[in-house]
Every structure is written in C-alpha cells, then in structure tokens.
A = this chain, B = another copy of it.
Amino acid sequence: MSENSRPLDLLNAAKGKMILTELKNGHAITGKLVAFDVHINVTLENAEEKKDGETLRKLGNVFIRGDTIILISPTI
C-alpha cells in the first residue's frame, strides 16, 4: 500500500478478473470485469445475477450503472 494509492487502483487491478458487485436493490452480479469509469459504471462478461447466494439468471455481457452499486470485491 503506497502513500498515494487511490480507490480506483483496486478496480484497475481487477480488470480481466472475476468480481462481485453488490447492488442497492439487494441483488449481486458476478462476472469478469471488462471496464469501469469514474462514475463506477462497470461492464462485465459472463455475468450472473444472484440473490442470497443463489443464481437468479445468466446475463452474459452487462453494463451496470455506477449509482446502483454498493460495493465491488474481486473474487478468487
């Protein structure tokens, strides 16, 4: 952790990797992070929508609007 680390560094390092996004509506979307911007708009590949750990449906490619996101966590 350098003195000058910024929150977006975590997202930058997660590009091309699987992430978990938690949304304000209580759902989660997992998928491979393709792109993000300063509004935290993100696009994912192979995305799946989940609730309470259960897959609700497969979304494939998806654009998620940043203002609906609570948190993003790279998954192993």
Residues of A within 8 A of B (CB): 1, 5-11, 15-16, 23-26, 29, 34-37, 40-43, 45, 47, 59-74, 76
6 A-B pairs with least C-beta separation = A7-B41, A5-B35, A62-B73, A63-B72, A10-B43, A7-B43
Expressed in whole angstroms, the Cα–Cα distance for A72 and B63 within the complex equals: 5
Copies in the complex: 7
B68 touching A63 by the CB < 8 A rule? no
Q: Which residues of B contact A62 (CB under 8 A)?
A: 10, 71-73
Q: How far is the CB of A59 from chain B (nearest CB, A)?
A: 5
- List B contacts of A29 (CB < 8 A): 71
Please name all residues of chain B whose beta carbon is closer than 8 Å to the beta carbon of A45 when the two chains form the complex: 1
